[in-house]
Amino acid sequence: MHPIVDATFRANPRYELVEFSRLPEALRVTLRPLTRDPEFFGVLRPRVDHNLPLKSVCRNTALLFLALGEAGPIPAYLREHSTDANRAVAELVADAVLEIEVKGTFICGGDASKVIYSSKLPISRNRLAVLSLEAVKYGEALHIDDTRRLSARLYCYNRRPRSPSWSRRFQSDEQVMQHLGILASGRVAECLERHWTLDQTNDGWYAWRWARQRQGWMRDANYKLYLSPTPDATRTAFETFVEVMTDVEGPCFKVGKGLEGLLRPDKIVAYFQDYEELAKAAERLQKSILDCPAQGVPFTAAVGTDGLISWGMDPPVDDFVLPWQRPESWRVWITTRLAEALVQSSCMPSRTVESWEYAMRRISLAGVDPATWVPLPTIWRH
């Protein structure tokens, strides 16, 4: 990233800052959960003639926006009290909250990419990285201007279609459970009965926790290990997965419920409290599951090269997110930010980079390597 903090900036004139109590009643009702955060101030609202997304802002961002109502340098208080003022300012420029002056012209968003970023966008040949890039380009091609709808489409990328043949083969959730060996007599059912406790509370999933593990443990388990065999290969892979998780006494895991669960890429997920435990289980899986065709989970960090095993890191529970944003998983966190960037880029008056490239650049500022989808250790402190 280029050092830009010494440049000249101004608040984006296409936005107006509105304090929470001055918003229309309907919007106040929608945003009221955010008021539990003592730092919440209000919103940046696009002016009537500009098609920009509404943005909630904290007090510090509001103060900076007001301070730069007239073009000038970043105030001294931000430089002195921010541990990474350059990154913070770069994010605000990338999000079109602030504009940066370049050769007498103020620019922001994708137009400012060459000013913000010091290197070319890294492109990896890793199978999951390629799949993730294809998903972002697919999202751009959809031309959806609703962030939540677009995020959902990105999240579902690489699901297998529910074809008539699959629907005839599995007409109930119980048939899928039989297929996976959960209900049938055999090694899987016996292992689950002896060592694991079924958690009946997870909609869309069958979830188990280690029998001696306390309830509520999953709240503290942010590291996720994904196993993504193709639907036809899931039965054999799941049997080996259960055996490995039992051997390493993995704390908890889940498998997608019913036919929809079988067809999704992230169909088998294990949770861990730290990366070392996750890496140990991943290594055992790699040695135990051989020649298994992979489906592949977009927006996850690959373990190996075939896309069968990967990992991510869920955000901690946040009491200040909006109701429809909780709980937010690693992949939801990723797809939401990619969708926001794609929508925002499409709203810019001029675009010097493709929307997909802007979205990949923006996710890197958020703390994710877009070449590998590995999260930075400090990602949740941003």
- The pTM for the full model equals 0.86
Q: Is residue 137 included in any domain, yes or no?
A: no
The predicted pLDDT at position 320 comes to 43
* Two tokens, residue 144: 């959806």
The predicted pLDDT at position 322 comes to 42
Together in a domain, 112 and 227: no
Which structural domain range is residue 171 located in? 164-295
The predicted pLDDT at position 316 comes to 65
The predicted pLDDT at position 321 comes to 42
Residues near 128 by beta carbon (within 8 Å), at least 6 away in sequence: 296, 297, 298, 300, 301, 302, 307, 310, 373
User: What is the rounded CA–CA span in Å between residue 206 and residue 87?
Assistant: 41
User: What is the rounded CA–CA span in Å between residue 132 and residue 112?
Assistant: 24
If one counts the domains in the chain, the total is 2
Residue 66, exposed/middle/buried by CB under 10 A (0-12, 13-18, 19+)? exposed
- Contact at 8 Å (CB) between 159 and 264? yes
Q: Is residue 113 included in any domain, yes or no?
A: yes
The predicted pLDDT at position 113 comes to 84
Together in a domain, 197 and 75: no
The predicted pLDDT at position 137 comes to 97
* Two tokens, residue 27: 């919007």
The predicted pLDDT at position 81 comes to 67
Together in a domain, 286 and 175: yes
Q: Is residue 339 included in any domain, yes or no?
A: yes
CA nearest to 127, candidates 310, 359, 357: 310
Spans in the chain with pLDDT lower than 50: 319-326, 382
